[in-house]
Amino acid sequence: MSGHPVPDANCHTLPDGSCSVASPCMHAPEAARVDTCATDRFPFAGIADRPFAQSQISVTWSYVKPEWVFLPDLWLTQTKVTIEGLFGKTYSTDQYPRAVRVPDGRVFLEDGHHRIVTAAKRGEQWAQIRVWDWPHGT
């Protein structure tokens, strides 16, 4: 988990850093706030190959409790998203994207790239994601 304040379930940070709810739910004092949604910056940690083989993921995702992940700490594992995926009907049976946390603490997105990119485009800094700890599992 990053050292950033975690939002509650109703929090949506706007691109200007303000909260879209009437009373801010978790926002740090102005001096501690980090502007990660600026349009001139990539809103994720980066894009990288998985440091593990997909065949090494042995998890029943529905048993993994979603947790808040700070998008600038998230590594994407897919270089492209499609227009159909961004604006079309989703066929996922799970509302939460899925990610794998490796022993050094990095979190790699496995499934849900379209949902995460859409959230970042809306200016959101956090997303609820099912995160499985590899190789030990939870």
Q: Spell out the domain ranges in the chain.
A: 38-133
Query: 20 pLDDT exceeds 70?
Result: no
Q: Edge to edge, what strands does the sheet with 46-47 contain?
A: 46-47, 74-76, 107-111, 98-101, 126-133, 66-70
pLDDT tens for 72-131 read 999 999 888 777 777 776 666 788 999 999 999 999 999 999 999 999 989 999 999 999
pTM comes to 0.67
Average pLDDT, integer, range 28-36: 36
The SS3 call for residue 93 is coil
Domain 38-133 belongs in CATH node 3.40.50: no
| Percent with pLDDT over 70 in the chain | 66
Most confident segment among 32-41, 49-58, 124-133: 124-133
Residue 33, pLDDT score: 34
* 99: β partners: 109, 131
Structure tokens at 21: 């709810």
